[in-house]
Each structure stands twice: as structure tokens, then as C-alpha cells.
């Protein structure tokens, strides 16, 4: 199967969906991303990335129950798919392999 490549933002949104579990919806993902990365993120950018990830079959979504805190509106909950899980694993393995390939003298000079 041909590998689907992700941009950095799609990757961190996918990671955030994995972190959030069954609490992954637009606003909660945005807040977690801001907390994890320290950068400002718009809800619309998160929704656009989630849409792309859903088109790539890396996340699926369903409508959650209505809640009083949202005035009776339902949330769209996002869940990692098997393909999304495999993709994250491949990305992690690749990054770890590349980090392990950095010569020690260069690695020790990198800021911590």
C-alpha cells in the first residue's frame, strides 16, 4: 500500500487525537495542541486538518451526545483509525531511527 504523507500540523493533530481518546473534538483538540506546543492554534485550522485526516482514513468521526454546556448542541468526536495508528507508529519509528543516526558529537552539541 502506498504511504500517505502528513504535514507537520496534520501529524500533531493526529497525535493529539490519539492523546485525547474519546474526548477528541474540535475545541478540546485545539486546547490540547496549544498546551502541548505552546503555539496559538485556530479551531478552523484544526477542523480543516481533521477533515483532511478523515479523507485519508486516519481518523473517523461520529456525533456525540448533546450537552447542557453547549446549549444542547452535539460535538463531533474524532477517533484514531487502524491506519492512523499505523501511520503514527511508522512516523515514530522513522524519527527514532533518524535521531539514533545522528553522530554523538553532533547530538551532544544540540541544545537541550
Mean pLDDT per 10-residue interval, the chain, length 112 residues: 78 96 92 94 96 96 77 86 94 91 80 78
Residue 109, phi-psi category: left (phi > 0), alpha (psi -120 to 50), beta (remainder): alpha
- Structural domains of the chain, with CATH: 8-107 (1.10.10.10)
Residue 20: the pLDDT is: 93
Residue 22: the pLDDT is: 86
Contact yes or no for 73/66 (Cβ under 8 A): yes
Residue 74: the pLDDT is: 83
Strand partners, 77: 62
Distance between CA 66 and CA 79 in Å, rounded? 18
Residue 112: the pLDDT is: 74
Amino acid at each position: 500500500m502506498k504511504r500517505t504523507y502528513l504535514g507537520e500540523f496534520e501529524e500533531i493533530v493526529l497525535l493529539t487525537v490519539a492523546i485525547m481518546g474519546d474526548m477528541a473534538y474540535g475545541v478540546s483538540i485545539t486546547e490540547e495542541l496549544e498546551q502541548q506546543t505552546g503555539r496559538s492554534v485556530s479551531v478552523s485550522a484544526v477542523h480543516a486538518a481533521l477533515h483532511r485526516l478523515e479523507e485519508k482514513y486516519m481518523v473517523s468521526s461520529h456525533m456525540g451526545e448533546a450537552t447542557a454546556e453547549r446549549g444542547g448542541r452535539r460535538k463531533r468526536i474524532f477517533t484514531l483509525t487502524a491506519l492512523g495508528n499505523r501511520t503514527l507508529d511508522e512516523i515514530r519509528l522513522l524519527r527514532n531511527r533518524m535521531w539514533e543516526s545522528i553522530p554523538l558529537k553532533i547530538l551532544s552539541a544540540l541544545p537541550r
